[in-house]
C-alpha cells in the first residue's frame, strides 16, 4: 500500500511540474520534448499524450489479433470524425493506461482481493473500447454497407454513360455520405499514384479497401481493377455487383433483427426483472422479518 501511495504522489507531482516547466533531465524529458516543441507550425501535444508515448513502446508485445482489431476500429472511427490525429500506438497505450489506473484503484480499495483487482483492471479498457471505438466504428461500418449498393449503382450509371471508371470514382467522391467520404480518402491517397491497380502496381483504391478490412469493399476494388484492365462489360458487372451488395446487406439486416431478441434478454433480466423481484420481496418480506405477521 505504501508503494502505491508513493506512486500516486509521484504522478501527481509530475503533473503539477508540467504546468510550470518541462522536465529537463532523464529519459522522460527526451521522450516528451518532441510533444512540447512546435516544429513548422505544428501544435504541441498535451502532456498526457506525451506520457502515452512511453506506454506506446508496449505495442510490440501486444497480441497481433487484438492489434489488428483495434486498428480496424480506429480506421472506421476516424471516418466518423473520432480520434483524428491519434495513432494506433497511442490508442493501445490508452487502453493499457486505463487498465493500470483500474488496477491502482483496486489496490487502494481491496489489495488482498485478486478478483476485484482483476475486474477493476479489465473494466476500464473494455468500456473505453466499447463506447469510444467499437460503437462508432460499427455504426460507420453499417452505414457504409447500407450506402454501398446505391454507390455501385451510380457508378454503373456513370460508366454506362461513357465515363471511365477512374473519372466516375472521382465524381462520386465529391458527393455526400460516408460512402463518398470513403471514396474521397482513396482518391486523395491516389495523388501522384494510380487509383486502380495494374498487373505490377497496387492502386490506391485496393490499398484503402485492404486497410478497411471489409470484404465487400475489397471485392468491389478487385472487380473495378479487372474491369479497368479489360475495358468491356463494366456496366453489366457493376449492376450485378450492386444487386449482390444489396442482397447481402438485406440478409445481414435480417440476421441482426433476429438476434435482437436474444441480445436484450440479459439487459431485461438485470434491469427490469431482478429489480422488480427485489422490490416485491422487500414489500412482502419486510413484515415477516419485522414480526408483524407473526402471531
Q: At what angle do helices 215-230 and 165-172 cross, to 10 degrees?
A: 140
The C-alpha cell that represents 16 in the structure block: 503539477
- Helix/strand/coil for 86: coil
Distance CA 225, CA 265 (A): 46
Tens of pLDDT, residue by residue over 238-292, are 667 666 666 666 666 666 556 555 556 666 666 676 777 777 777 666 666 565 5
Residue 293 burial (CB < 10 Å; 0-12/13-18/19+)?
exposed
d(CA 28, CA 15): 13
Phi-psi region of 84 (alpha: psi -120 to 50; beta: other; left: phi over 0): beta
* Sequence-ordered list of residues with C-beta below 8 angstroms from that of 89, at least 6 positions apart, any chain: 53, 56, 59
Residue bearing the bigger pLDDT, 266 or 130: 130
What's the pTM value of the predicted model, to 2 decimals? 0.66
Tens-place pLDDT, residues 179-215:
899 999 999 888 878 888 888 888 899 999 999 988 8
Amino acid at each position: 500500500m505504501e508503494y502505491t501511495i508513493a506512486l500516486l504522489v509521484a504522478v501527481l507531482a509530475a503533473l503539477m511540474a508540467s504546468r510550470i516547466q518541462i522536465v529537463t533531465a532523464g529519459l522522460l524529458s527526451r521522450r516528451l520534448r518532441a510533444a512540447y516543441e512546435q516544429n513548422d507550425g505544428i501544435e504541441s501535444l498535451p502532456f498526457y499524450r506525451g506520457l502515452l508515448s512511453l506506454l506506446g513502446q508496449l505495442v510490440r508485445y501486444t497480441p497481433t489479433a487484438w492489434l489488428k482489431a483495434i486498428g480496424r476500429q480506429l480506421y472506421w472511427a476516424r471516418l466518423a470524425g473520432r480520434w483524428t490525429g491519434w495513432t494506433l500506438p497511442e490508442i493501445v497505450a490508452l487502453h493499457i493506461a486505463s487498465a493500470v489506473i483500474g488496477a491502482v484503484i483496486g489496490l487502494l480499495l481491496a489489495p488482498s482481493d485478486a478478483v476485484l483487482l482483476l475486474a477493476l483492471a479489465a473494466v476500464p479498457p473494455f468500456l473505453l473500447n466499447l463506447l469510444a471505438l467499437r460503437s462508432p466504428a460499427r455504426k460507420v461500418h453499417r452505414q457504409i454497407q447500407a450506402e454501398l449498393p446505391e454507390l455501385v449503382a451510380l457508378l454503373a450509371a456513370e460508366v454506362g454513360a461513357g465515363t471511365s471508371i477512374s473519372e466516375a470514382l472521382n465524381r462520386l467522391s465529391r458527393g455526400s455520405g460516408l460512402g463518398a467520404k470513403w471514396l474521397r480518402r482513396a482518391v486523395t491517397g491516389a495523388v501522384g499514384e494510380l487509383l486502380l491497380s495494374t498487373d505490377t502496381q497496387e492502386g490506391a483504391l485496393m490499398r484503402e479497401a485492404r486497410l478497411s478490412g471489409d470484404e465487400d469493399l475489397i471485392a468491389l476494388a478487385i472487380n473495378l481493377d479487372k474491369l479497368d484492365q479489360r475495358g468491356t462489360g463494366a456496366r453489366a458487372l457493376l449492376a450485378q455487383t450492386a444487386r449482390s451488395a444489396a442482397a447481402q446487406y438485406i440478409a445481414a439486416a435480417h440476421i441482426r433483427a433476429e438476434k435482437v431478441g436474444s441480445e436484450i434478454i440479459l439487459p431485461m433480466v438485470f434491469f427490469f426483472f431482478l429489480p422488480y423481484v427485489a422490490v416485491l420481496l422487500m414489500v412482502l418480506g419486510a413484515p415477516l422479518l419485522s414480526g408483524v405477521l407473526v402471531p
